[in-house]
Every structure is written in C-alpha cells, then in structure tokens.
Amino acid sequence: MQPSRQPMTPLQEIRHSAAHMLGAAVLRLFPQAQLDIGPPTDAGFYYDFDLEHAFTADDLIKIEDEMRKITKENQRFERKEMSREEAVAFIKERGQVAYKLGRLADIPEGEAISFYTNGEFSDLCAGTHVRYTAQVKAFKLLSIAGAFHRGDEKNKQLQRIYGTAFATKDELEQHLVRIEEAKKRDHRRLGKELKLFHIDEQVGQGLILWTPNGAVIRQELQNFIAEQLFQTGYKQVFTPHIGNLDLYRTSGHFPYYKDAQFPPLVEREAMEMLSKEGCGCGELMNRLDSGAVQGFLLKPMNCPHHIRIFASQPHSYRDLPVRLAEFGTVYRWEQSGELNGMTRVRGFTQDDGHLFCTEDQVAQEVLGCLELVKVVLRTLGLQDYRVRVGLRAPGSDKYTGSNENWTKAEAACRSAAATLGVPFSEEQGEAAFYGPKIDFVVRDVIGREWQLGTVQVDFNLPERFELEYIGSDNKPHRPVMIHRAPFGSMERFVGILIEHFAGDFPTWLAPEQVRVMTLNDDMIPHGQKVIEQLKAVGIRASLDEVSDKLGAKIRRAELEKIPHMLVLGAKEIEAGVVSVRSRADKGMEGNMPLADFIAKVHSEISERRLRVPAPVAPVPEKKV
C-alpha cells in the first residue's frame, strides 16, 4: 500500500531512513529502549525513546558512530506486510510492546500493516525508505529533548533525539553553517550587543525592558502604524492596564481564558474580610469564580475596554464602522518554559484595533484590515509568510457563542482570505475563544514560523455585551466586531525584525542613523556643527569624540551597525564637503556637500526605504 498521505520526497526518504538507523543504533547500545516513533521533519528527523538511562552528549556521539557503521554495513531496507495478528505477535516477539502495540491499533481496519526491516532492526512503518543504508551518509545528530508521548502532557515523557540528514555531505555542511549563521542573528544575542532591550531577573521573567535603542525602533514602528491608522479612519484611544473582574465575566475571559491570565487582584477589604473568616486559597478562588468576591484582572486583551468605549454612547448606523485603535499592553500567564526572549513574553503591547460594523460591512472591513497587514509586511520586507484561517476545534468546550454565529464568522473569514491572492490553509482549533481568525504566519531566517498579524471576526462579544446601534429602520441592531493587530505584538514583532535584519536596520528604524567622526580632536567643534545641522532636520546622529585613530572610530560605528558615517578631515573642511561611508548603500558614498547628504538621507528615511540586509559577516579578526 502507498500511504494515503503525500508520497515522500527523496530527501524525506533519506531522513526517514536515518530515523530508522537511529532507532537501530540506539537498540544496539541500549537494548532495553522502548521505541515510539521516528518520522522525518521539515529540517531533519527524530526518534522518540523510552529509556531509564538519560541520554548524554557522549551517548549522542556513540550513537552517531553506530549509525555510521550501519551506513557501512549497507543494509537493505525491506518492506513486509502482515496481518494484524501477525503484527501483534511480531511486536511482542521483538519486545517492543510499550508503544508499538498502541501505534498498531491506530492503523484503521482495512489499511495495510507493514514493517520495514534493515539488518537486525524492524519497525512498524508505512514507508517509504531508500533502498540501502549506504545512501544515508550525510547525517548528524543534533540534540536531545523531552517529548510527551503523542504530544499530550498527561502522557509519559519520552526522550527525543533530533538529527538532520541530506543527500550529500556538502548540503549537510551548508545546513550546519546556516544554523550557525542563525545563532549570530539571534535577537537575544543582538539585543544585548546592540543594547536594544533587557530582561532583568529582578523585574521578572518574560517582562521586556525597552532600552533607549530599542525604544527608538518601537517608537518609529508605532509612528508608522499611527500614520496608516489616520489614513484609514481609525480613532486612537487609551485604556488602563487593569479592569474589573465583572468586565471579564461578561466578556468570557473569566473563565474561558483563565489559564492564560495572571491571577486576579483582590480588593483589600475583601481580603481582610476573608482572612478574618479564615478562608483558604481554594475558597477564595471559588468565590472569585462565583462572583461573591470582587477583584480586578491585569488585562489579557484590550477588547473589553474598547467595547465599553463603544457602548458608552448611542450609535446610529450612520456612525458605523467605528474603528478604535490602541497600542494596548496586555499580560498573559505563559508557562516558564515557554518564554523566549522578546518573542514569547508575559507582558506585551499589541497594536490593537477593534472595528464595530454592520453585518453588511464585515467583508469590506476585513479586507481593509488584511490590506493593512499586507502594507506593514511589505514595508518591512517580510515577504515569506503564509496565511492561516483558524477555525473552532470540533467538540471543544473552550469557545463561547452560538453555532450559528460561529458558522457566519467562519464563512466571513474564509471568503476574505480567498480574496487575498495568497495561498491559505484552514486549521481547526486555531480560533480565539470568541471567534475565528485570519493569521499571518511569518517565517524567520531559521525557518521557524511566528504568528504576527491577525484579523478576527467576532459575533459573540457584541452579544455578550449586548451592543447595539440604531438602524435605518429606527430599531436596535447588533453590530459585528472585528479584532485586528497588524504587528501582533510590538515585542514579538521587533524580536523577529532584529533577526530579519540581523540587527542591520533600515535607516528609518536605526537607533542611530549617522555617526560623525573627525580625523583629529581639533576638528571636533566642526563635527559638532555638523551634528547640529543633522539634528535640526530630525536625523539621529552623534559625534565620536574619543581620541582614537579613524580606523577605530569606523570599527566602532560598524559594530554598532550605524547606517551612515561621515568623516571630516582637513580636506573635507577645506572643500566644504563630508566624506560619506555607508553600510549598505554604496550609491550614497563619496564626498558631497552636507546639504546633499542630508537631502539623500532624509528621502531614504521618509520613504522608509529598505536596504538590502547585509549578510552576517564575521568581525575581522585582530591582526597579531
């Protein structure tokens, strides 16, 4: 039987075969290991094992050596089909009952049951594989990780060994170089080197401190969005960081979103009363749940606040759509192991917006939102993305609202996505608790995917909050809400941007845009005048006043990835020009009057021009 899935590509066959060879090597060294599964992945392969002994880095080397032997042994991969009964007997005979019997039971009746054998190793497997183990020669084991059986945290945690494999050693080598390059672009590393942000143990896990350089980038991005909002009819609002628990009972965040939130803040008087009663924590939680005790919540989303702004005034159909926007900071309780630099944090600011419109306006408004996301991604050169329509998971109880509303909202998302001109996939279980979403999933340099921009259609919150507008028939009607955030969150977006640009930001985003340096200290006053002129037109510039050689000043500016450098020496001052050295834009270089340089940089900034991101080059080694 060919599996009903996609047939494997030659590369997948190599990786899948490497996984089997990994399984075989582990069994040779650790015969008591219980095998789970070993599939190929986008970037390599893995195999999951259940074993008392915890694998070490040394084990990885030994296992890899054993795999090389298997390559040399040039074993043939042979497929054998058998009946379910035979398969059960075969698995028992091989002593692999812990997981393989369960995996066997997953194969539906009527579908072929097959084993693949190479050398002494046999594995329940639909296939397919390469013919001989000698074809798998360019591989490397990379890491050991824990992984829950069947991906369910209630199950036992197995040990997963990750590896990668390619058709040729060259390709493998290139892949390993790419991994190294990716590490150099890591936003956590660059964030430290370029002083963009700081995470402080004393402040708390997952809480970003935007240092001055990073703050400039964020501010520029926010200015950019604010311009777009002004053009597209949004009104800016501000709301506080907390809200009454009742607000979230109405919205459904409490309890639907409870696990993702910081625990409630309980009023002081209520706390005192409860402690007098000797009420324990469990009882406190019960009373919070029931509403018997009042409190506040650190807001996990901005929508309830915006809804109350909308509800604070009567609306005519003539007012719609009402578009409210805010850079709203929200707080979510992420498990400690999920935190990661700026891309996964516990407090973050969404470039949030909520549209209140009539049902007839939904399609057009969603389109406008999608257009905004596209403008944002295009302006920043983030072109490697896919679109995902997130739907309900069937049979789940983590959603609020009627079936009818969900069906309408899902249809709206689907048809809007279809007009995008970009391929999109529909994925069940990816919806928000109040409605389906259209997500823009951007792929970063290492191939990891990040959900950034999002647009969500919501019939449910207007109902829960009993929102209305007066229609042309002079009767109350229920508006529809659209939630949208083109960046998603400022933290995650900037984190991705740091890696995308390798810290080498386009001039409009660069914390420092121009570094001025003089040949010797006598010329510093002249340099200061140049700085004044640059600042007068809003260009972020500084003067390197250290008594160093020019080479040292240039090196400093290069390491700080400053887009443009101006060198001032006797010749330049004499001729009334500046000597320009630019990181990416060679067209800018040469000697020119300061006014010309200013005009050029000014247009580069105001057009938000992208520069070709420079490849991450190693810093030249110091000559000894």
Active-site amino acid positions = 303, 332, 350, 352, 354, 437, 483
Q: Give dist(CA 210, CA 227) in Å, integer.
A: 22
Q: Give dist(CA 242, CA 432) in Å, integer.
A: 21
Choose which of 273, 552, 599, 612 interacts with RNA (CB under 7 A): 552
Cα maximum dimension of the chain: 94
> Looking only at residues 180 through 199 of this chain, which bind RNA when binding is defined by CB under 7 A?
186, 188, 192, 199
Q: Is 241 in the site for RNA (CB under 7 A)?
A: no
Q: Give dist(CA 435, CA 416) in Å, integer.
A: 15
Q: Is 157 in the site for RNA (CB under 7 A)?
A: yes
In the complex, minimum distance from the CB of residue 90 to RNA, in angstroms, rounded to a whole number: 28
SS3 535: helix
- As separate numbers, helices (DSSP H) first and strands (DSSP E) second, the chain gives 20, 27
Q: Is 19 in the site for RNA (CB under 7 A)?
A: no
> Looking only at residues 504 through 523 of this chain, which bind RNA when binding is defined by CB under 7 A?
519-522
324 vs 592, beta carbon nearer RNA: 592
Q: Is 313 in the site for RNA (CB under 7 A)?
A: no
Helix (H) or strand (E) segment spanning residue 404: helix 403-418
322 vs 431, beta carbon nearer RNA: 431
In the complex, minimum distance from the CB of residue 399 to RNA, in angstroms, rounded to a whole number: 11
> Looking only at residues 568 through 597 of this chain, which bind RNA when binding is defined by CB under 7 A?
569-572, 579, 581
The contact mask relative to RNA for 388-427 (x = CB under 7 A, - = no) is ----------------------------------------
Q: Is 290 in the site for RNA (CB under 7 A)?
A: no
Q: Is 565 in the site for RNA (CB under 7 A)?
A: yes
The contact mask relative to RNA for 62-81 (x = CB under 7 A, - = no) is --------------------
- Name the region of 576 (left: φ>0; alpha: ψ -120 to 50; beta: rest): left
In the complex, minimum distance from the CB of residue 473 to RNA, in angstroms, rounded to a whole number: 36
Choose which of 554, 600, 608, 613 interacts with RNA (CB under 7 A): 554
> Looking only at residues 469 through 488 of this chain, which bind RNA when binding is defined by CB under 7 A?
488
Residue range at the interface with RNA (CB under 7 A); choices 239-247, 414-422, 506-514, 548-556: 548-556
- Find out whether 212 and 525 touch, Cβ atoms under 8 Å: no
- The residues, any chain, with a CB within 8 Å of residue 416's CB and separated by 6 or more, are 363, 366, 367, 370, 438, 455, 457
Q: Give dist(CA 497, CA 491) in Å, integer.
A: 10
Residue of 593, 298, 310, 606 lying closest to 465 (CA atoms): 310
> Looking only at residues 87 through 126 of this chain, which bind RNA when binding is defined by CB under 7 A?
none
Q: Give dist(CA 378, CA 230) in Å, integer.
A: 19
CB atoms within 10 A of CB 171: 14
- The residues, any chain, with a CB within 8 Å of residue 284's CB and separated by 6 or more, are 266, 274, 293
C-alpha torsion sign, points 403, 404, 405, 407: positive
Q: Give dist(CA 69, CA 505) in Å, integer.
A: 48
169 vs 183, beta carbon nearer RNA: 183
60 vs 293, beta carbon nearer RNA: 60
Q: Is 53 in the site for RNA (CB under 7 A)?
A: no
Amino acid of residue 510: A
Choose which of 42, 58, 85, 201 interacts with RNA (CB under 7 A): 201
Residue range at the interface with RNA (CB under 7 A); choices 83-91, 150-158, 358-366, 529-537: 150-158
Q: How many residues of this chain interact with RNA, rule: CB under 7 A?
A: 77
In the complex, minimum distance from the CB of residue 618 to RNA, in angstroms, rounded to a whole number: 9
SS3 392: coil
In the complex, minimum distance from the CB of residue 60 to RNA, in angstroms, rounded to a whole number: 10
- Find out whether 168 and 183 touch, Cβ atoms under 8 Å: no
Q: What angle do CA 569, 572, 577 make, to 5 degrees?
A: 140
Q: Is 525 in the site for RNA (CB under 7 A)?
A: no
Choose which of 114, 164, 239, 454 interacts with RNA (CB under 7 A): 454
364 vs 428, beta carbon nearer RNA: 428
380 vs 452, beta carbon nearer RNA: 452
Helix (H) or strand (E) segment spanning residue 454: strand 449-458
Residue of 470, 359, 400 lying closest to 250 (CA atoms): 400
Q: Give dist(CA 377, CA 127) in Å, integer.
A: 40
CB atoms within 10 A of CB 64: 16
The contact mask relative to RNA for 318-357 (x = CB under 7 A, - = no) is --------------x-xxxxxxxx-xxxx-x-x-------
- The residues, any chain, with a CB within 8 Å of residue 559's CB and separated by 6 or more, are 193, 619
Residue range at the interface with RNA (CB under 7 A); choices 86-94, 151-159, 244-252, 288-296: 151-159
Q: Give dist(CA 559, CA 622) in Å, integer.
A: 14
Q: Give dist(CA 31, CA 83) in Å, integer.
A: 26
Q: Give dist(CA 203, CA 299) in Å, integer.
A: 19
Q: Give dist(CA 537, CA 392) in Å, integer.
A: 51
> Looking only at residues 158 through 177 of this chain, which bind RNA when binding is defined by CB under 7 A?
159-160, 162
Residue range at the interface with RNA (CB under 7 A); choices 87-95, 271-279, 289-297, 551-559: 551-559
C-alpha torsion sign, points 518, 519, 524, 529: negative
323 vs 332, beta carbon nearer RNA: 332
533 vs 591, beta carbon nearer RNA: 591
Choose which of 395, 423, 525, 620 interacts with RNA (CB under 7 A): 620
The contact mask relative to RNA for 259-278 (x = CB under 7 A, - = no) is -x------------------
191 vs 511, beta carbon nearer RNA: 191
Q: Is 82 in the site for RNA (CB under 7 A)?
A: no
> Looking only at residues 120 through 139 of this chain, which bind RNA when binding is defined by CB under 7 A?
none
134 vs 584, beta carbon nearer RNA: 584
